[in-house]
Chain A
């Protein structure tokens, strides 16, 4: 898709010696993150601000990133969620990571607000496509766990399965999504 054969985990690992790799990682994931924030804040400016802070935090933490069984996008979403919760708690979006990286403040012009929505739509479509590939039970489990952020006990009750099975479905679904993302990227 973007011509870089490396997956997100490899891009993050390469960021320290090859800064452009983070640019590729950013381009791949920015629609998903914008969609995540746009859905939760219903405010394009806030969504753009939180996106900027999330990627700055991801860049700052990229040296500490250790590839695990989950896709790198899951790691990025964990940062995004933490930024969102912080913003609710403080009533404002933090700028700590951007300050640490000495990044210039960016302003979203009124004319660009529509583009945030477009990008969010692209992210939602990307997510929908990935989810549509999964078997129904995995799709439901991932929607409940990753998108709605519900507890496994809660999910298990709704899906009428044990907590272990719910965990397994989420894990298998994420593994499938990771494989597809790697395939698409290559």
Chain B
């Protein structure tokens, strides 16, 4: 997986609370058993004039020319709530979004981001508003820079602000690490647990 270290990109403000994974990618846009081909369905309900069409809705932020190539989303509270569908993160990533800044994230979405090299950075409402104000004045020139090592985000005239991310997720993103590989290194501990647990709770182990 790609490492996430320092990232600079156009940032798009989409500041509404409770943006759910149905909004990020509607179920109707998940048409094959694949992690690819999902970017076209990203925010489909808001991005296109009507359901089923691909005609851009001009007012939607990601359709505005100034936000072309956006790589960062500035968002509201409880971002990514709802369905566990990892397709939401796959669609964001394929579209080019590498980081979401929000006051809080839904837990499953947060984990899905980290598994796919997308940074979920927690930042309070006020600094997000400050970044948005600067960005909206000139989205193309006022790009946002995120430094994960330093846990800071800034834009010309705003910040730097320190954002929050748990140590585990930070490490995984910085190193581009694969969780399964890391876990398999713990095999002796897993084996010890299983041999003990099979004696203590035999009914758990089906044959």
Chain A partners chain B: no
Q: Which residues of B contact A (CB under 8 A)?
A: none
Q: Which residues of A contact B (CB under 8 A)?
A: none
